[in-house]
Amino acid sequence: MPDNATPTLTADGPLSGVLVADFSRILAGPYATMLLADLGADVIKVEGPKGDDTRAWMPPVRGDVSTYYLGINRGKRSIALDLRDESDAAVAGELARRADVVVENFRPGGMAKYGLDFETVRRDNPGVVYTSITGFGSGAGRHVPGYDLMVQAVSGLMSLTGDPDGPPYRAGISVFDVMAGNHATIGILAALRHRDATGEGQLVEVNLLSSALTGLVNHSSAFVAGGTVPYRMGNAHPSVFPYEPLPTADNDLIVTAANDGQFRKLCGVLGIPEVADDPRFARNADRTANREQLRPLLVGQLIGRSANDWFELLVDAGVPSGPINTIDGGFAMAERFELDPVVTVGRGERAVPTTRHPIRFSVTPAAYRLPPPELDEHGTELREWLSKPPEEGHG
């Protein structure tokens, strides 16, 4: 195991003592390393002289800092290194030699010219968990740059998103970057467990297209197992009804009665219990096949009350439903349900509100130790530490 004691940072958590050398930029990699930092890992964010691209992705901003950057970089320390410079590349190499985990999302082969590829790093650090995130893998797709929007297009997701008679749409977030970041985190944790048991490191490869294809779940299975190419259905579900927004007296309401019991409860709340006994709607397959006959029966009742009124009544009866909120409404609902969705990282002028880590632990909770770093904020102390022999470099 590499000597990874770093200066000035102490941490608790299940990943305390794990040193992560983060050479990634934009979203997928930084999102993964932020999750690791929340769980106690010591994450060193290596940035080029101009910093992570997302520092300049604005508006919106908080002060003069991009909220995009703030949202995925808490808990880290920043060192700015120009890998084209021989001395800076040597500093980066020493960091990789001491790291438990290296994360990078350069194009395949891009780290080799700096002596930071997996084969080179593992010669001096055989226990390293080296994680590479690409758009289309390290084989025949290695030359294709990987951006989430491209992957939404080529994977088929956009063909499934939008009105049936309208154009295809992207998802409202970079969904496959986030998914790949989660897959990278899973891979890192599994590889660390293997390393702890055997002392052996390994290469962990994640690519956005593979994350996309597994993330399309039922649509992927429809094609792979059923030979069916799914198509755009707006907000409707190909296999379940009702499972979509339906109009009420004011706004649309999501209604998801996905099994026979829930459908019977829905009909009871709407005051049409006889509809649940209609043979056209007795089973989910029947309701899906006859959705055009069923929809007006449901809407005829729903338009008598507001979306929020129906939400309360349906949820109390055990029928999944929900209003279509804007982001502020989503946070308000999380507050209502005592999920405490916002935490503050840092103090004084550096205090930044941020979204809580999504996983709760009964013994080792996530911690929010450092605000998103300024560019090269910790460069001096890290360079000093990396310049010393490991036995002298302990904090």
Measure the CA–CA gap between 23 and 116, rounded to whole angstroms: 10
Q: Specify the long-range contacts of residues 261-267, CB closer than 8 Å, at least 24 apart.
A: 262/318, 262/319, 262/320, 263/287, 265/317, 265/318, 265/319, 266/242, 266/298, 266/314, 266/317, 266/319
Exposed, middle or buried by CB within 10 Å (0-12, 13-18, 19+), for 183?
buried
Measure the CA–CA gap between 34 and 27, rounded to whole angstroms: 10
Residue 267 tokens read as 């009909």
Three-class SS of 8-50: CCCCCCCCCCCEEEECCCCCHHHHHHHHHHHCCCEEEEEECCC
**Catalytic residue from among 38, 117, 177, 376:** 177
Per-residue burial over 6-25, b if 16 or more Cβ lie within 10 Å, else e, is beebebebebeebbbbbbbb
DSSP class of residue 218? H
Q: ∠ CA(16), CA(93), CA(383), 5° rounding?
A: 70
Residue 210 tokens read as 């593979």
Annotation marks residue 52 as catalytic: no
Measure the CA–CA gap between 204 and 28, rounded to whole angstroms: 14
Region for residue 217 given its phi and psi (left: phi exceeds 0; alpha: psi -120 to 50; beta: otherwise): left
Residue 107 tokens read as 């194009």
Q: Which are the catalytic amino acids?
A: 177
